[in-house]
Copies of this chain bind each other. A is one copy, B any other.
Amino acid sequence: MIKVLLVDDHQLFGEGVRSMFKPTDGIEISRITTNGHQIPSILEEEKIDVILMDISMPNIDGIGAMQLLKQKGFDVPILMLTMHQDMKYIKRTLEGGAQGYILKDASKQELTEAIQKVSRRENYFHPKINNQIFNFLRGDKGSSDVDLVGQLSDREKEIIGCIVKGLNSKAMADTLFISEHTVKTHRRNIMHKLGVKNTAELVTFSLEKGIV
């Protein structure tokens, strides 16, 4: 029996998946939590074979939760469950060390197969995203938006967050306790790194790429 910890902020989804598996399936959703921060304590309480986790969650997102687990030294295979099939998410998931990636748009059969493979520490990727991974690995420059985001420093992301919220340079300076000159320097560097030519484009890019 494979014991699964399900991490998803949608209760209905969690309970649904749990009741989907019968003992004969060899899979049991033994724990459910809606908060990624609770994963460590659950892993300490109970033997868990696979973590099935949503990427987009309110408190801490799936990728953040993965990093947290890695830092704390936990080594449980993680199967990411999500509705996003953007390369952005896939890449960040793989970089974070997930064992597999499956879409909410999958069948029970596919999920079962995925959980089984991941529990054996084999990789699983949902067929729908295999193509994208394949294309990405061919390394065409076209898909290098991701790198642009990766080049941003934490402070720069913070600045972007403020811009998106509508703060102007002066307000940001006051909020972050730095000079307006500094804010402007950051803005300039950000725009250069992202290759955008004005604030509007910066905001659009940031929201679409999920920087904020």
Residues of A within 8 A of B (CB): 9-13, 15-20, 81, 83, 103-108, 111, 163-168, 196-204, 207-208
Min CB distance A184 to B, Å, is: 14
- Copies of this protein in the assembly total 2
**Chain B residues, CB < 8 A from A164:** 200, 204
Other-chain residue from B10, B106, B201, B202 in contact with A105 (beta carbon distance below 8 A):
B10
A18 to B20, CA, bound (A): 8
| Interchain CB contact under 8 A, B200 and A166 | yes
| Interchain CB contact under 8 A, B19 and A166 | no
Closest to A196 in B: B166
A167 to B104, CA, bound (A): 33
Min CB distance A67 to B, Å, is: 24
Of the candidates A17, A108, A164, A166, the one having the most CB atoms from chain B within 10 angstroms of its own CB is A166
| Interchain CB contact under 8 A, A201 and B20 | no
| Interchain CB contact under 8 A, B204 and A10 | no
Closest to A15 in B: B108
Would you mind naming 24 contact pairs between A and B with Cβ atoms under 8 Å apart? A9-B105, A10-B83, A10-B105, A11-B105, A11-B108, A12-B81, A12-B105, A12-B107, A12-B108, A13-B104, A15-B107, A16-B19, A19-B19, A19-B20, A163-B200, A166-B198, A168-B198, A198-B199, A199-B200, A199-B203, A200-B202, A203-B207, A204-B207, A207-B207
Closest to A197 in B: B166
A81 to B104, CA, bound (A): 15
Other-chain residue from B12, B203, B207 in contact with A111 (beta carbon distance below 8 A):
B12
**Chain B residues, CB < 8 A from A204:** 164-166, 203, 207
A65 to B12, CA, bound (A): 23
Closest to A164 in B: B204
